[in-house]
Structure 1
């Protein structure tokens, strides 16, 4: 089943907006800054999964890293929704450009 995540992201965005007492400009800035927090949690999970903190040892698993990466993606999608009326279109267009630059025209459009 291949369903788009964008309706769920739109619902999360609406919920966050409804719950926030801040003006839209501050909400926009804080949603972008929230990405830094989430990326830090990925780093913490990687350090914990590899046991690189002698005081904490192996405090995380690679599944924790996966979960934190998903949080980064969700947070970025919500932030993008805050910035544009068409987050899905903006993302698809940007992804297509990255694929063209990185994979070339044939591989970018064929999926392989």
Structure 2
């Protein structure tokens, strides 16, 4: 994970807190931002594959990657609304996932 992710996500979260407050509506909007960004990543993939014949190929792998990065950033920002220690929450989740994967990996 990029060393800049968590400090940047914390700054974005703080700016949003000042601009929009920290109530339930703002929390919901931050979750919806993750969904919006995921939709943009999906749309970029559709453009990459030319799935829409009317439009053809309109995107590149880099476009998809950029959109996926936006999903990660939006999720990191949203996580601040649910945890006082977002990096620790993600680390714990990653370690739990790695343990489950290890348990399922054939020896």
Give TM class, smaller chain. Answer: 0.7 to 0.9
State the TM-score, normalized to the length of structure 1. 0.84
CA RMSD of aligned residues (A): 1.7
Runs of 4+ deviating beyond 3 Å: none
State the TM-score, normalized to the length of structure 2. 0.88
Q: Is the 8 A contact 2:5 2:73 kept in 1?
A: no
| 1:17 match | 17
Work out the CA distance in 2 between the residues paired with 1:87 and 1:78.
Answer: 9
Alignment length, in residue pairs? 103
Ranges in structure 1 where 5+ consecutive residues have no aligned partner: 105-112
Q: Which has the higher contact order (CA 8 A, sep 6+)?
A: 2
Work out the CA distance in 1 between the residues paired with 2:60 and 2:18.
Answer: 34
